[in-house]
Amino acid sequence: MRSNLLPLFRRSLGDSWRSLIGWSAGVAGALFLYLPLFPSLGGSESQMAKLISTLPPQLVRTLNYGNITTGAGYTESTFYGLIGFLLITIAAVAWGTAAIAGDEENGSLELTLAHGVSRQQLVLERMLAIAVRLAWLALLSALIVLALNAPSELHLTVANEAATAAAYLGLGLLAATFALAVGALTGRRIYATSAGAGIAVLGYVLNAVGNQTQSLDWLRDISPYGWAFHHTPLTNGADWGGLGLLYGFSILFVIVAVIALRRRDIAG
């Protein structure tokens, strides 16, 4: 007799291992591309520093390149704040959308729910599968960063890297759970994807605008991106308030998804 523990969770993971390999390759590729370049770019007297000083300050602030000459600033500006953010956001939104809205639009949600599973169980098991995949991407990034820490002369501490990976994961979870919740509310792929991508883009824009002047700095406090990276965890360690907001809203969105899916009709 096969194990019947968490059947939907196991199916979700089994279905997505190919895409997970792809996303893992993306994360690893970006890190292996950027981080080894730091020794030849970094330092306050480096070419990089001179190049940055010639750029318009607004652009530097938008890209969050102000601290790019330190190992922590460089890692955050190139990977966690930019390429890595993009990768985890796209993966999160795609998975969050597929879990309910995608499955419903392609007609397979109906058959699954006609079996011996509850709607709450479906939301929770599928979300757990998404969380595990996102956590793997965050963990993978942390392992690679720490592996390259010494050879790339980044001078990062393990604790700060862990805090950053946690913020990175929180940012991914927020986009995934928001896409999941909107998918549970509407059953429409386009709305779920727009919502998940929208919250990520909006967060990035608010953060970039808030970074321009001190008087707009409050915008970074209402931006999920700001919750993750405003207080530069790679330099300063965990921002517990920011992490609390990221994970708190993620949990809230999962609850919304459960309630929404339990209440409504499933489209055929």
Residues making contact with another protein (CB under 8 A): 1-2, 4, 7-8, 11, 14-15, 18, 106-108, 110-118, 121, 265-266, 268
How many Cβ atoms are within 10 Å of 82's Cβ, its own excluded? Answer: 17
Shortest reach from residue 10's CB to another protein, in Å: 8
User: Which of 18, 215 has the CB closer to another protein?
Assistant: 18
Amino acid identity of residue 197, one-letter, is A
Shortest reach from residue 11's CB to another protein, in Å: 5
Shortest reach from residue 185's CB to another protein, in Å: 16
Task: Please tell me the distance from the alpha carbon of residue 68 to that of residue 131, in angstroms, as a whole number.
Answer: 30
Task: Please tell me the distance from the alpha carbon of residue 210 to that of residue 224, in angstroms, as a whole number.
Answer: 12
Shortest reach from residue 28's CB to another protein, in Å: 24
Q: How many Å separate Cα 241 from the centre of its chain? A: 17
Name every residue whose Cβ is closer than 8 Å to that of residue 135 and which is 6 or more positions away in sequence: 169
Shortest reach from residue 113's CB to another protein, in Å: 6
User: Which of 18, 45 has the CB closer to another protein?
Assistant: 18
User: Which of 1, 44 has the CB closer to another protein?
Assistant: 1
User: Which of 63, 266 has the CB closer to another protein?
Assistant: 266
Residue 44, helix vs strand vs coil: coil
Residue 71, helix vs strand vs coil: helix
Q: Is the dihedral of CA 21, 168, 248, 259 positive or negative?
A: negative
The helix (H) or strand (E) run that includes residue 21 is helix 7-34
Shortest reach from residue 128's CB to another protein, in Å: 16
Shortest reach from residue 118's CB to another protein, in Å: 5
User: Which of 36, 110 has the CB closer to another protein?
Assistant: 110
Amino acid identity of residue 63, one-letter, is L
Q: How far is CA 232 from CA 24, 152, 156, 235, 250, in A?
A: 24, 20, 12, 6, 21
User: Which of 58, 108 has the CB closer to another protein?
Assistant: 108
Q: Is the dihedral of CA 67, 70, 72, 78 positive or negative?
A: positive
User: Which of 2, 45 has the CB closer to another protein?
Assistant: 2
Residue 266, helix vs strand vs coil: coil
